[in-house]
Chain A
Amino acid sequence: MLRLVVRRLLQLIPTLLGLSVLLFIWLNRLPGGPAAAMLGERATAADKARIEAALGLDQPVWIQYGRFLKRLSELNLGVSTQTGQPVWDEFTRAFPATVELGISAMIIAIAVGVPLGYFAARRRGSWLDVTAVSGSLVGICIPVFFLAFLLKAVFAVQLGWFPSFGRQTTGIDATEVTGFYVLDGILTGEFDAAWDAAMHLVLPALALSSIPLAIITRMTRASVLEVLGEDYVRTAESKGLSRQVVRGRHVLRNALLPVVTAIGLLTGGLLSGAVLTESVFAFGGIGSFIKTAIDERDYPVLVGFIMFIAAAYVVINLLVDLAYSLIDPRVRVH
């Protein structure tokens, strides 16, 4: 197990190095070059010259790359042109919000998708099955930002059931501990703050969960259908085991293996959706920040965030693989 972790961590290095090369090339290709990238498009010529000298743009490319790498490793990626804060600080401030949103969305997707897919498979051809299958097909075809927008227009603006933007009502008495507002509220005993933060989460999380939900439902359904035809399920039936044991231990345990893999991949891919959802709800996470960074051509933020996000994605994948080896004994030994 430990060897697997170490090996996977070592594999991380070339991936991140390759990524840094790509980013370096990308930075140099940006309109205006890396100086503009550091300062934003509205930088004055004097600023630009100063930065260019500081960056050593007169030196050979590989030295430039070396410096770039050094700054990356020091998490020193410059200053956001929007806020004037260091990129790393902005990232650590925004990250918990996105994680909170992502986890909520995944919880919804798993809590609804797995049972739905399971019962759809068991009652193949029933109205439940038809609804689940067609619902999941439509689900992946709705642009996430439009769904977010609709939810906001209907449930926040029209009906007023949920707040329409932000993570928490401004002015509410809340202490920040972890940066996860719901968790903070519970930890500090400020339950009204936790409730308020949770209400703010509902609509964005619902919008963000649409695609993972659709995919998890369909994968679970397909996987359960396949496992139901396996010999070992017939063996379990031939032993006269109760329905619960057959379904839980023999059908679901096997059927969920591919679903777990999918959940991991979906978690990593959640960020694309988060950019869109967060900007609709002005959620104040990485997504919102990136959207403004794009609008404002805030390149230091884009470079930094891309690097961190890619690293986070690779780490998530590693965790998924480790989780997988825990639940599938066939993988464990090798």
Chain B
Amino acid sequence: MSTKTDKIDRLAELTASTETSTGASLWVEAWRRLKGSKMAVIGACIIGAFVVVAIVGPWVAPYSPTAQLWRGEVFTNQNIFVGPRAENWLGLDHLARDEFSRMLVGARQTLLVGIVATLLGFTIGALIGGASGAALVLGGKVGRRIDTVVMRVIDIMLALPSLLLAVSIAAVLGQSLTTVMIAVGVVQIPVFARLLRGAMLAQGGSDYVLAARALGVRKRRIALGHVLPNSLSPVIVQATLSLATAIIEAAALSYLGLGNPDAAEPEWGVMLAQAQDYFDSAPMLAIYPALGIIVTALGFTLLGEAMREALDPKLRS
């Protein structure tokens, strides 16, 4: 008897040493891979730093973003600019305002534009796409018809170059930060709608849906309980990437003169657009906000791409 237990013990010991990794859930696995991705870590660090600046920026800014520190002098006519110095780390802008303070305060506006625009596009787009996808998965003539109509509208929106769509909206709403947010957000709606619908359609045709149907699970439960949650990952990735595009698009709108004209609320896009007029004499005034936009956009892009890779079932080991 003792040899019997001996050998079982020995076997248990040996099998334990060759333990193979057990399958984790998609999200757990994705999180594990995300943590190990250099891209994700760099992206998250950039985003973290940006968010901190956006939150505390206005409080720690040494000057008011509108205060003209060198009243009475007209620099721009003489092309004299005050460069970086002890009391103004990044120098003064064309109206003699502290560039550093404006960058700090501007971060918040820029983040706000990105988040609000993306949330707008995400919410409405996901609702439209989700409804359309669910209608398709639920099936039937009505479902298909709803989907056709919705997708035609989405196609029309996609047929407009994004910037023109944004410009058209801005033309109706007038010039303000809200306009920029709405214009940039609306441009994202068809992107999210198509993405979610496409993902739901792909999921709807998969075998597990067939299996659930065969088991008699209600169609509505299949569409909302199984298909929808499984289709969300590309949309979440897109939302992260959208934060980057929203910030860049907002800058483009500012360049076209549709940005926020209020100097009390500096925004990187407007700052960049304005600084271009003085590029020959003070190139740094354009480069600071440009770097701000590029680095921030890069942060969101890196994180988004890393998430896409982490969630890709084809790349799972």
Contact = CB atoms under 8 A, between A and B. Distances in A.
A–B contact at 8 Å CB threshold (below): yes
Interface of A: 14-15, 18-19, 22, 26, 29-31, 137-138, 140-146, 149, 153, 157, 226, 268-269, 271-272, 275-276, 279, 290-291, 294-295, 297, 299, 302, 305-306, 309-310, 313-314
A145 to B, nearest CB: 5
Nearest to B283: A153
B251 A26 contact: no
Contacts of A137: 298, 301-302, 305
Given A14-B152, A15-B155, A137-B302, A143 B248 contact: yes
A272 B251 contact: no
Given A26-B172, A143-B293, A272 B161 contact: yes
Nearest to A144: B252
A157 B276 CA distance: 14
A145 B254 CA distance: 11
A297 B257 CA distance: 11
Contacts of A276: 163, 252, 255-256
9 contacts: A15-B159, A137-B305, A145-B252, A146-B272, A153-B280, A272-B162, A290-B167, A309-B160, A310-B156
Nearest to A158: B280
Contact of B161 (A30, A297, A313): A313
Contacts of A30: 171-172
Contacts of B163: 271-272, 275-276
Interface in B251-288: 251-252, 255-258, 269, 272, 276, 279-280, 283, 286
B62 interface: no
B286 to A, nearest CB: 7
A288 B163 CA distance: 13
B103 interface: no
How many B residues are at the interface, by size bracket?
35 or more
A137 B294 CA distance: 10
B interface, over-half SS: helix
Q: Chain A interface secondary structure, helix, strand, loop or mixed?
A: helix
A143 B290 contact: yes
A140 to B, nearest CB: 7
Contacts of A15: 152, 155-156, 159
B11 interface: no
A13 to B, nearest CB: 11
A146 B290 contact: yes
A149 B251 CA distance: 14
Contacts of B152: 14-15, 18
A30 B169 CA distance: 9
Residue among A14, A157, A226 with max Cβ neighbours from chain B (10 Å): A14
Given A141-B293, A143-B252, A306-B160, 5 more contacts: A30-B172, A143-B294, A144-B252, A153-B279, A226-B314
A16 B290 CA distance: 38
Contacts of A306: 160, 164, 168
B148 to A, nearest CB: 10
A170 B11 CA distance: 89
Given A18-B156, A146-B290, A272 B172 contact: no
User: Which 6 residue pairs across A and B have the least CB separation, nearest first?
Assistant: A272-B163, A141-B297, A271-B161, A18-B156, A310-B159, A272-B161
B153 interface: yes
B138 to A, nearest CB: 24
A138 B46 CA distance: 14
A294 B161 CA distance: 15
Nearest to A274: B161
B156 A146 contact: no
A26 B168 contact: yes
B298 A141 contact: yes
A291 B256 contact: yes
B90 interface: no
B252 A314 contact: no
A250 B17 CA distance: 43
A269 B162 contact: yes
B126 interface: no
Contacts of A31: 172, 174
A157 B256 CA distance: 22
Contacts of A314: 159
Most chain B beta carbons < 10 A, residue from A143, A275, A276 = A143
